[in-house]
Amino acid sequence: MLPRFEIVDRQRPVAVVGVPFLSEQYDGRRAPSGATAATPHLAPYAAIEVGLRPGAGSAGPTTLSLTGEDDTRLSVHLHDRKVSLSVARDGSETRHRSRRHGRCATEPTRLALALTGRHLAVLTLERGSWVVRGRVDLGRTGRRGSQADTRDVDWLAGLTSSWATAGSTPGVTDWSAGAFGQLGLRDLRLVTNADGSPYRAKGGDVLFTATSAGPGFFDTAHTSVWTCPPDAPTLRHTADLYFERSDRPGAWGDHATHLVRDGDRWLVATSTWADFPSERRERKTATVGITLAESTADLTQGQHRLPTRPLSLPTRGPSVGVWDPHLVRTPTGGAGEWLVGYVSARRFFDFHPVLASGPSLDDLTLRGAATDRRATEGTTLVRVGPEWRVLASDGRDSPRRVRARYPVFDLGLAEVGVLQAPYPTNIPWPSLVPPAAGAPEDDWLLVTFNGRPYGGPLVGYGTHGEVVVMRPR
């Protein structure tokens, strides 16, 4: 029996430079007018950040740049509170500035460059919050100049980061460069052992994978790993996971991920959202799949780029895509049986939960599909007493009778109950942490998210959300 939950905390760990490869601070008059450092990256999720002295945003220009060995240079500029971007490649340069959002509302205290997927963005810290003041899609056809392949692993390995200022007095107090962090977190999924129990780090902390939101749509996000003490749940970033694909080269920020410890290896099931188009007219041929990676490295620490293979999953009726994987191996039979929960879409966006099972992840058959749903995702397997149950999230675009709730299904995907918990905005996943050994039976933890955006009006949909923590009432 699952308890009734209430919200006890909300968190939003925003960081532009999430993992600094280097960091320097300057003391007054000794500050230089620029600096450069090699910053090889595993994937196109890079950031540069500088602190600005009072008045620097209104003084001489300050420029941050990522430069490849092929002399491709991606830059952001701040001058007199106005921000812009430039792309230099093959002897030509284009400049980009938002007419509506390209001027700071107040004196900025920090300036940042972010490369997320194929998007270059400029951010300013104003009144304590980051604001996206400009963005350009480096892969958009029809734009002036040639395109940079930001997913090319050799190009990424040769990147350098730099900053420069032309002011008459030192205007930069510090700088850092490294891997892009996040503007928000969503799709939080408990890291588990193959039997579905929580994987616990030393000290008993549980871990979650999450989608780290970038300054834009799904194609600016990537997968991250976070540790969390269950008794005082505050998330701390520990790792980033990037992916390769078997059907095309490059490094990808696929997300909506489940990380599973299976013996002496990790299994990583993820959803191929990293190139899903933001423009509706481009979705006629789009698809989303689920891929599987295996690794013996410690994926809970550091940065990793993982080769993957497609995970073939059955659906009921036509399907344009599957996502939100969750894997559990039960002790049924001699070698056990895999249960795989996921989502299938009839079209974008009309989707429902599905469950498959089989003796191996390469031999799965359909177990159930809740085809009466049209906006239900976050499929999650959880053991409640002696029974396995499938939890999901009925979004607000669902039929009225099943709107904004957490349904509980049996393994045939017949609804058998509803999880009693507040339902934030967006489609929050019901990620449950069961009581630890020796803890009271009702000592559950529910960690989910909401749809609250961040970064200002330019970015549009995709920067959500806040982490929402719940405890039994």
- pLDDT per residue as tens digits for the range 343-359: 999 999 999 999 999 99
Would you kindly state where each structural domain of the chain is located, as residue ranges? 15-181, 183-472
Tokens of 199: 């994987």
CA distance 273 to 285: 14
Residue 174 has pLDDT above 90, yes or no: yes
Q: What share of the chain is helix, strand, coil (3-state, %, to 5)?
A: 5, 50, 45
Tokens of 295: 């690794």
CATH fold of the domain at 15-181: Jelly Rolls (2.60.120)
Radius of gyration of the chain (CA): 23
Tokens of 41: 């990256």
CA distance 187 to 115: 22
Q: Is the CB of residue 36 less than 8 Å from the CB of residue 160? A: yes
Homologous superfamily (CATH) of 183-472 is Glycosyl hydrolase domain; family 43 (2.115.10.20)
pLDDT averaged over the chain?
95
pLDDT score of 56: 66
CA distance 97 to 99: 6
Q: Give me the long-range contacts of 82-86 (CB less than 8 A, separation at least 24).
A: 83/111, 83/122, 83/124, 83/133, 83/134, 84/122, 84/134, 85/120, 85/121, 85/122, 85/134, 85/135, 85/136
Q: Is the CB of residue 360 less than 8 Å from the CB of residue 338? A: yes
Q: Among candidates 287, 118, 113, 140, which has minimal Cα distance to 219?
A: 118
Q: What is the mean pLDDT of residues 233-246?
A: 98
Range of weakest confidence among 27-31, 136-140, 255-259, 313-317: 27-31
Residue 426 has pLDDT above 60, yes or no: yes
pLDDT score of 141: 40
Predicted structure pTM score: 0.96
Q: Is the CB of residue 265 less than 8 Å from the CB of residue 294? A: yes
Q: What is the mean pLDDT of residues 113-120?
A: 98
Please indicate whether the domains covering 15-181 and 183-472 agree at the CATH topology level: no
Residue 411 has pLDDT above 70, yes or no: yes
Tens-place pLDDT, residues 89-101: 988 999 999 999 9
Band (45; pLDDT cuts 50, 70, 90): very high
Q: Give me the long-range contacts of 440-444 (CB less than 8 A, separation at least 24).
A: 442/3, 442/472, 443/472, 444/2, 444/3, 444/5, 444/471, 444/472
pLDDT score of 142: 38
Residue 334 has pLDDT above 70, yes or no: no
pLDDT score of 136: 96
